[in-house]
Amino acid sequence: MSTERLLRSSPARRAFVVLVAGFLGSLLLLPTPAEAGYPYQQGVVVELTGVVTDGSGAPLKGISVIFEAQRNKLNVLKLRREQKDAYRVTTRTDQNGEYSIRWQWNPYYNAFDLLVAVPTKRTGKDDFRILSTTAVDDKLKAGGSPVVTPLLVADATYFYTYLRFLSIVDSPEEKRIFELRGQPEKLDLTRTDEGEDSTWWYFTQGRAYRFHNGEIVEQTDFDPVQDF
């Protein structure tokens, strides 16, 4: 639109153009990765460490901790910044609930989080169920190593359920299905004089398995329930 044509446009249109121009200009002024204020040089090893606890303060041992680095980049077409190219380093906590992650600094990335998660399956592929997310941008901007960050999982019910489920996975058939499908979204368990019957429900995968004494006796397929 030419300047002359813009001047002939309605006040509302001129105000909209000014608003968009101002918003775009503010986005362009946001720091780039090289200007984001992180004091580390490329290739320097940064250690992140801390203790993971539940809502009562008890340490969570054996739970997964993920350091996730992403690039925060301006999307001009959508007039906003977006995060892309996620890179993850994963570890597990020790007997005291402590984690330690070492990462070689790469200035390409400028957004950082620590995730506490439980392994799961999604459409037959390895994935994680994220229980908490903690941004560590400010701590990394402060510099130094190790970067000590305590992590809190306010509701660790899913993790404790996961551990209880692992404790009953015993037979080769059960282990095979667990490796293939992950933790079921619902477990029906019945014990009788003849042994143990259990049904593993995978609603989002559209499948259920019924076991008798650890052996599969029935498999049921149904339409997946995506919003389970």
Q: Whole domain around residue 99: which residue ranges?
A: 33-155
Strand 125-135 versus strand 111-122 pairing type: antiparallel
Q: Name the phi and psi angles at 37, rounded to 5.
A: 90, 15
Which of 110, 129, 155 terminates a domain? The answer is 155
The predicted model scores a pTM of 0.73
Residue 226 CA to residue 228 CA, distance in Å, equals 6
In this structure, what token pair is assigned to residue 156?
Answer: 């660790």
Is the same domain home to 197 and 174?
yes
Residue 162 in any domain: the answer is: no
Residue 179 CA to residue 124 CA, distance in Å, equals 9
Number of structural domains, the chain? 3
CB 60 within 8 A of CB 54: yes
Is the same domain home to 55 and 37?
yes
Residues 6+ away with beta carbon under 8 Å from 172: 214
Residues 6+ away with beta carbon under 8 Å from 98: 49, 50, 51, 52, 59
Is the same domain home to 106 and 191?
no
pLDDT of residue 15: 55
Residue 42 in any domain: the answer is: yes
Is the same domain home to 26 and 40?
no
Is the same domain home to 124 and 210?
no
Q: Is omega for the bond preceding 119 within 30 degrees of 0, making it cis?
A: no
pLDDT of residue 77: 56
pLDDT of residue 35: 46
CATH code at position 69: 2.60.40.1120
pLDDT of residue 120: 84
pLDDT of residue 14: 58
For the chain, 228 residues long, give each residue's pLDDT as a single digit of tens. Answer: 554 554 455 665 555 554 555 554 444 444 444 445 899 999 999 999 999 999 999 999 999 999 999 998 655 555 565 666 899 999 999 999 999 999 999 999 999 999 999 998 766 678 899 999 999 999 999 999 999 999 999 999 999 999 988 888 989 999 999 988 888 989 999 988 889 999 999 998 899 999 999 999 999 999 999 765
